Amino acid sequence: MQTRRWVNRYQTQTLVLGNVLLYMEGVFNIARGTFFALIGVGMLFAGYGIANDKKFAWKLGVGASVLSILMRLTSQSIGFEVFFSLVFPIALLILLVHPQSREYQKIWFS
C-alpha cells in the first residue's frame, strides 16, 4: 500500500527538521515576492518529495536553499538584516547536507 505523507517521522532527525524547515521557508519565500516565490515553490515540492523518499527532492531542496542564500546575499546591502535573514536558510542547508541526512538519502531514497 502506497502512502503519501507531508512529514516522515521515521527518517533521521536532521531530515525531519530539514523537511519542516523547507515548508516554513517555502511559505516565507512565496510571501517575499517574484523570484523568491519560485524558490519557495521549489522548497515546498522538495519538502513533499523528501517526506516521500525521493532522491530528486533532496537535490532540489539543497539547490533551493543555496539559491535562497545567494539571493539574500545579493539582494541586500551587508548589515545586520542580512545576517538575521540568513539564519533559517543556512540552518536548512546544514540540516540537508548533514552526514546523517546524506547517508539516509543515499540508502533509502529512490
Comparison of pLDDT for 37 and 4, the residue scoring more: 37
pLDDT tens, position by position, 5-57:
898 888 889 999 999 999 999 999 999 888 889 999 999 999 999 999 899 99
pLDDT score for 5 = 87
- Cα 34 off chain centre by: 18
pLDDT tens, position by position, 77-103:
777 777 888 899 999 999 999 999 899
pLDDT tens, position by position, 66-83:
999 998 888 767 777 778
Q: Where are the alpha helices (DSSP H) in 6-98?
A: 13-32, 34-51, 55-75, 80-85, 87-97
Question: Residue 1 pLDDT > 50, yes or no?
Answer: no
pLDDT score for 85 = 84
pLDDT score for 4 = 84
Q: Contact 89/68 with Cβ under 8 angstroms?
A: yes
Nearest to 64 by CA among 33, 26, 14: 26
Question: Residue 2 pLDDT > 70, yes or no?
Answer: no
pTM strictly above 0.85: yes
